[in-house]
Amino acid sequence: MKVARFIKPAILMLAMTVAVHRFAFAQPAPSASSLHTFPQGWDSTIPLPPGAVLLGSTVPQKRGVYTADFSAKGTYPQLVDFYEKGLPKAGFAMGPKVVMATRKVYNRSFKRGGSLNNVVITPNVNDQTKFNLHFAWSAQTPAKKSGTH
């Protein structure tokens, strides 16, 4: 009998959680390039293709790596070309890259100052006209000063 007293509130809380979850995911994601909505810690000089949509992001609790996921329209060669040309133009030094054209996967490291960044392009499995852009970056770290203590 005591267990029954807890079942009704548990079911009610579960129903409320499902309702909130469904409402949150029913909202359209804002377009990062049109509304200039960027994740926390984002370097706005990192180029995004026109119409890119922010899907989600994470923020480290302490020093660590931020991440953001975007969706963008275009072909694989267009998006690879966009980053191969756009990142140096935005002032980033290009690091190592991995290109798997047959799988339409691209992974490029890039940096400026003390910030190391990475972009990974993969096909969107639900929409063949779109690709997923996954970014990982570290917060800008100040340059160390030389001198004696």
Per-residue pLDDT 10s for the chain (149 aa) are 554 443 443 333 433 333 333 333 333 444 344 444 788 889 999 999 999 999 999 998 877 899 999 999 999 999 999 999 999 999 999 999 999 999 999 999 999 988 899 999 999 999 999 999 999 998 765 444 444 44
Backbone conformation region of residue 109, classed left if phi is above 0, alpha if psi is from -120 to 50, else beta: beta
Protein fold of 30-138:
TATA-Binding Protein (3.30.310)
C-alpha–C-alpha distance, residues 27 and 141, integer Å: 35
Compute how many other C-beta atoms are within 10 angstroms of the C-beta atom of residue 106: 22
Q: Where are the beta strands (DSSP E) in 16-83?
A: 53-58, 65-73
108 - beta bridge partners?
A: 97, 119
Residue 51's Cβ-count burial label (10 Å; 0-12, 13-18, 19+) is middle
Q: Mention every residue, 6+ apart, whose C-beta is less than 8 A from residue 97.
A: 106, 107, 108, 109
The structure tokens listed for 143 are: 């340059």
Only one residue has tokens 């009610």, namely 12
